[in-house]
A and B are shown apart, each in its own frame.
Chain A
């Protein structure tokens, strides 16, 4: 599996590098007047397209490191070791001028949070990690990784009993996927 995940991540990164140009016009401008009211379900979604970038040795090294982190997580004996491997991947410094790294990082974070949630009292830790990364004020890349991370956040919120956060996250995930669908249909 390690080779499969590694090549999958590398291939994904390279495909994103090459096809990034196709992901134009995905940007959804946030409504300036749209603000989350107190107690309301926050479904605000800011997005941006992933701009293409020129592959650099640093960028490729980052992709390699993320693939290694997934591979080590796959080979881990238990959830704790898996979380450690994924944390190491997440700790990798983002190379400059590699926007394609953003979805990879979100994917890694989502997997880490799923792993953390398996551990006793891991849900609040996972929520603390993932919620700021997906804050409605932050712009998310229009990518399946954003949708997946939002779904994981929704699942964590359900576990934590925060239905408003769960509903908002699920709706935002659906909207990201809807944007991807519209992009494919063009």
Chain B
């Protein structure tokens, strides 16, 4: 076996072949031997602490996505049914307020009921959107 073949086999065995993807030791021609890959990006990215933080960040992002997408559709049904009922009662209340145009009590209640109706409808829409 020629010297050249021996060097090539040694290099492969050490994982610096073309498929190694630059993650293992490599031959540093400037240093004339085998060395570490030059660091890419922030060296701290490779520390255990940074990796742990990244993992936690991915986990929390995943749980946010999962909680939004796996929300029980029955909850949306209940929220939308409540919205419908709240708005129906709001209409009754505001009809009464229309009969008492000069009475602030009625007008304020109508306004409050209207806001509750809008909030309930928004909850329904949010829930349905998050389930899409």
- By the criterion CB–CB under 8 Å, are B123 and A167 in contact? no
Interface residues of B: mostly helix, strand, loop or mixed? helix
B106 adjacent to A181 (CB under 8 Å): no
A134 lies within 8 A of chain B by Cβ: no
Task: Determine the main DSSP class of A at the interface with B.
Answer: helix
CB of B34 within 8 Å of the partner chain: no
Given contacts A40-B105, A171-B109, contact A163 B123 (CB under 8 A): no
**Chain A residues, CB < 8 A from B90:** 170, 174
Provide the residues of chain B in CB contact with A181, threshold 8 Å. 79, 82-83, 86, 119-120, 123
Question: Which size bracket describes the interface of A in this complex?
Answer: 20 to 34
Q: Which of B75, B78, B83, B92 contacts A170 (CB under 8 A)?
A: B92
Q: How far is the CA of A147 from the CA of B116 in the complex (A)?
A: 14
Assess whether A163 is in contact with B96, with CB atoms less than 8 Å apart: yes
> Measured between alpha carbons, how far is A151 from B119 in the docked complex, in Å?
20
A-B contact count (CB 8 A): 72
The answer to whether B100 and A174 have CB atoms under 8 Å apart is no
Interface flag for B85 (CB, 8 Å): yes
A174 touching B105, Cβ below 8 Å: no
Given A40-B105, A43-B109, also A167-B96 (CB < 8 A): yes
A184 sits at the interface (CB 8 A): yes
Query: In chain A, what residue has the closest Cβ to B93?
Result: A170
Q: Is B30 an interface residue (CB 8 A)?
A: no
> Taking the complex as formed, is B99 at the interface, i.e. its CB lies under 8 A from any CB of chain A?
yes
Within the complex, the shortest CB–CB distance from A178 to chain B, in Å, comes to 5
Q: Interface code B54-67, partner A: CB below 8 Å = 1, 0 otherwise?
A: 00000000000000
- The smallest beta-carbon distance between B101 and chain A, in angstroms, is 13
10 more A-B residue pairs beyond the given contacts A175-B116, A180-B78, with a C-beta to C-beta distance below 8 A? A166-B92, A170-B93, A170-B109, A171-B109, A174-B90, A178-B116, A180-B82, A181-B119, A181-B123, A184-B82
- Enumerate chain B interface residues (CB-CB to A < 8 A): 75, 78-79, 82-83, 85-86, 89-90, 92-93, 96-97, 99-100, 105-106, 109, 112-113, 116-117, 119-120, 123
Q: State the A residues within 8 Å of B (CB).
A: 40-41, 43, 147, 151, 154-155, 158, 163, 166-167, 170-171, 173-175, 177-178, 180-181, 184-185
